[in-house]
Amino acid sequence: MNAPEAFAEILHVATRHTAAAVLLFATVLMSSCSSRPDIPPWFDSIQRLPIHTASVHGHRLAYLDQGQGPPVILLHGFGGSIWQWEYQQAALSTRHRVVTLDLPGSGLSDKPGIDYSPTTLMEYLRGFMHELELERATLVGNSMGAGLAIALALTDPEKVDRLVLISGLPPRVEEALTSPIMKRAVDLHVPVWLAEFGSWLFGSRPTETILKEIVFDHTLLTPSVLDRSIRNRRAPGLIRSLMSLRDHLPQWESTFAPRLNTITHATLILWGEEDRLFPPRVGKDIHMLIPGSTLRLIPRAGHIPQWERPDIVNGFILSFLES
């Protein structure tokens, strides 16, 4: 489908969904007068943690900084942000300094028009550690964040104490992907302006669809969680940075993935048993590649098990950090 055809399709879908939205609004309005609202299964409690910023390579990076002790840096995945680590702050900061970073192009951080290659992200992470005067830290990365942690461990091993890889980025990413939705996202190539327009117009539907793909327990996807995810997706510059990240996957494949077997750091690998993006066998393959690594499977969890099952994940991480 070329750009004009895609645009026409968007307009067609927009017209159809506008009519549906009006009908839905009318239905909700009438039903609200006659029935009591359902009680949600979860109460959304938002932690009030101060957000800090650091200037790295002329751009502002947002981060959280909690606790005292040996430093631990938490790195989110593709399209993610600080909130994916909201259940690690209190648990890990009792005995460690926990620094949670919004990577450039993500969350509350600046989204400059740069090439978001693994090497570029690594330079920003290295600069961020320098700004915070962190000579060495344990890196805990989820998905793409695990790939970034691996890249720094291979390039500057003295800056990394230990590695925790959660649903980590594997070699041959496209071959390892089992999610049809994510496969289409990786394969689809459209102009940035068209992708941004589609995100603005239909941001809520694809966001919810993607979250249901990466989260196993859909009852956790409360209105509050969906709302903040949609707002994050609509941040100016986010779509452009995500498309650049995707386009630079070949650098991960050629530069860092082939060297997984040379990692010498103590490594813990955590994987959701119900991960629909990269199934547990992918985690087992990475475990076999990294010498001396430990693999733990997280039951009833998808691609972000630290958010779905923090009770189990935090226990594994703390035991690993203190072993």
List, for residues 52-76, the tens digit of each pLDDT value: 999 999 999 999 999 999 999 999 9
Joined tokens for residue 25: 């609004």
CB atoms within 10 A of CB 262: 12
Domain extents in the chain:
52-177+239-321
Joined tokens for residue 240: 């452009």
pLDDT at residue 195, as a whole number? 62
Q: Where are the alpha helices (DSSP H) in 234-309?
A: 238-247, 249-251, 280-289, 305-308
- Which of left, alpha, beta for 292 (phi over 0: left; psi -120 to 50: alpha)? left
Joined tokens for residue 151: 């890249």
Average pLDDT of the chain is 85
Average pLDDT over residues 100-108: 95
Average pLDDT over residues 33-44: 51
Please provide residue 304's backbone torsions phi and psi, each rounded to the nearest 5 degrees. -125, 70
CB atoms within 10 A of CB 132: 19
Tens digit of each residue's pLDDT (9 = 90 or more) over 159-195: 999 999 999 999 988 889 898 877 777 666 666 655 6
- Answer for the pair 180, 113: CB distance below 8 angstroms, yes or no: no
What's the predicted TM-score (pTM) here?
0.83
pLDDT confidence bin for 7, thresholds 50/70/90: very low
Average pLDDT over residues 77-84: 92
Angle formed at CA 281 by CA 277 and CA 283, multiple of 5 degrees = 75
pLDDT confidence bin for 230, thresholds 50/70/90: confident
pLDDT at residue 191, as a whole number? 66
pLDDT at residue 48, as a whole number? 79
Angle formed at CA 263 by CA 262 and CA 264, multiple of 5 degrees = 110
CA distance 220 to 300: 12
Task: Give the closest residue to 225 by CA, choosing from 241, 213, 239, 207.
Answer: 207
Domain at 52-177+239-321: CATH architecture: 3-Layer(aba) Sandwich (3.40)
pLDDT at residue 235, as a whole number? 85
| Residue percentage of the chain with pLDDT more than 90 | 63
Give the CA distances from residue 224 to residues 44, 75, 220, 228, in Å, rounded to whole numbers and listed in that order.
Answer: 7, 23, 10, 6
Q: Given the structure tokens 């459209």, which residue do they identify? A: 190
Joined tokens for residue 202: 């239909």
Average pLDDT over residues 253-282: 96
CA distance 296 to 150: 18
pLDDT at residue 203, as a whole number? 56
- Which of left, alpha, beta for 172 (phi over 0: left; psi -120 to 50: alpha)? left
pLDDT at residue 12, as a whole number? 45
CA distance 75 to 145: 5
- 296: which strand partners? 270
End-to-end CA distance of the chain: 54
Residue 205 has pLDDT above 80, yes or no: no
Query: 144-155 vs 118-131: helix axis angle to the nearest 10?
Result: 70
Answer with the residue of higher pLDDT: 306 or 246: 306
pLDDT confidence bin for 234, thresholds 50/70/90: confident
Asked which of 20-29, 65-74, 211-220, 287-296 is least confident by mean pLDDT, the reply is 20-29
Asked which of 119-123, 124-128, 251-255 is least confident by mean pLDDT, the reply is 251-255
Asked which of 185-194, 204-213, 229-238 is least confident by mean pLDDT, the reply is 185-194
Residue 321 has pLDDT above 70, yes or no: yes
CA distance 126 to 121: 9
In sequence order, what are the residues at sequence separation of 6 or more whose Cβ sits closer than 8 angstroms to the Cβ of residue 230? Answer: 203, 204, 207
pLDDT at residue 290, as a whole number? 97
Answer with the residue of higher pLDDT: 156 or 204: 156
